[in-house]
Structure 1
Amino acid sequence: MNRSFSIALRLVAGGVFFFLTACKDDPTTGTTRVDGQVVERQGRRPVGNGTVQVWLAGKGGGYGPVGTPQPCDAQGRFSFDFDATNETGYLLKAQAPPGYLTDWAEAPALTAGRKNTGLTVPVLAPAWLRLVLVDEPPKSRVILTITGYAGSGETLRFPNDTLLVRPILAGVTPSIAWFINDQGQSKQSFQLIQPAALDTVTVRIPFYRVPPVCRAPEPMSCPVISCGRQLAGGLWRRPDVGHDPGRRRGGAAPEPQARGQRHDAGLAGGPGRGKRSRTHHRAGDAG
């Protein structure tokens, strides 16, 4: 009897201990301890003098900050408490100068109402993109769209020769692409890049437009040399006037011929026979 009671008592005590141990890591609400270190994702080196921020998932999607950013020391270490009002949905992100930050997909999750110790918060190292825009002759008015950074990129209307510097993240920006819209005609190019941590990568983006069709009335007033309307031997064909084969550049035009009067000079061999001939007379010669 005493032996059976002792066994039962041990089983009850073991169950209570197991229950308490299992519940120790279950999320709840209330005071939540957070401590750990911020490290560079590429080299796992400590990144100091930054801040960490707790984020909570919203019911409608997205995340919102919880409390204020907490400072880190020179070795990236941090330790603080916050009051959890939800049991789930907490993440921890970090950032540090000159541009280190944590990717959302790599932010560690927090267990609400418990101690979250020994955390490692990875951050991506910054790099910079140097965009050299070159308006090659003939000068153009195009719409330029550049992608590969800053979400969907950016669109520039009628850019000139320009130098742009944009921040990017090392190791996660494999290429830069650009699209040139020239009066409805699109051109696409790209360049592969491998930015290292705290490095600057240069991408040259040339753009130009197709020469317009020349419609100038005289050769010297045409802005495009090879417009396809200058004829061999210096002759020029205006688009709205018929070509005069007797006129050359620098020479005098032949005397214009007045409108003639057409009449039948008669038919050889009588009416209805032979070949009909036609003659033109200058105005005023009749009589």
Structure 2
Amino acid sequence: MNRMPTGRRERRSFGEAIVLERTFAAPIDDVWAAVTEPERPERWIGTWAGDPTSGQVAFRMTAEGADVPAVTVHIDDCAPPHLLRARIEVADPPGQEWRWELHLTHHAGVTTLRFVQAAAGDVPVSDVGPGWEYYLDRLVAAESGQDVASVDFERDYHPAMSGYYRDLFACPVGAMSALRGRSGCRRLTRSTWSTYLGVVEVTVQEAKTHLSRLLRKVEAGESIVIRRGSQRIAVLSPAPPPVGDRRIWGDLAGAIPDDFDDIPDDFAAYR
């Protein structure tokens, strides 16, 4: 399955942001519980411990592995069941915090969750965008009774969506009007996205970090373009078959009969 990226770029009070939305045929209180109670998020992303009234909790992203260390989440604003604003400490680079927000609304039996992730500074949007697409789709699967394990990160999200998010934030701040090709920016449409489905593009760093995943894609017949900045510098593609399995010049030696050049008798009239 090739999933389409859904994130968009918006300007918020704190700067540039990735914005994603998901909808649920469920009461707003139920969706709020699915993302805030300590047990329910473990079905799709992780769990937390501590006293939220203190302004912070310890969060473990158990979906990444049982031994993933806890990180501190600072709660800046919480207004159940509509709004949660928080900052999460990240290890790389040290001392950095990622700001994100959850907004929930309900209308006509449908709850809409809007997730906002700050994208300023050193936030690697080509990794973060696909990552949140993946986890929010796991949330949808968990809440709709689907198989969460069927949401496949390597197959459908990263690096498949990395190029979309890289291009989405390639324009300078304030240059969004240039998306039609001016100032080196590129308009991202569904037809543009279709190009990413055929050839995956990754940076040199992404290639180093996810080499095993990329090689599995190559073994499945895909080609991977590696870029340094905006310049394409290499291609990972399937190796040709062994020489013994290929036709080469001269491999029919001895198989051509001696009378190959003779004209058959029934063609005599055409001589």
Instruction: Report the TM range for the smaller structure's normalisation.
Output: under 0.3
Higher strand share goes to which structure? 1
TM-score normalised by L of structure 1: 0.23
Higher helix share goes to which structure? 2
Q: Which has the larger radius of gyration?
A: 1
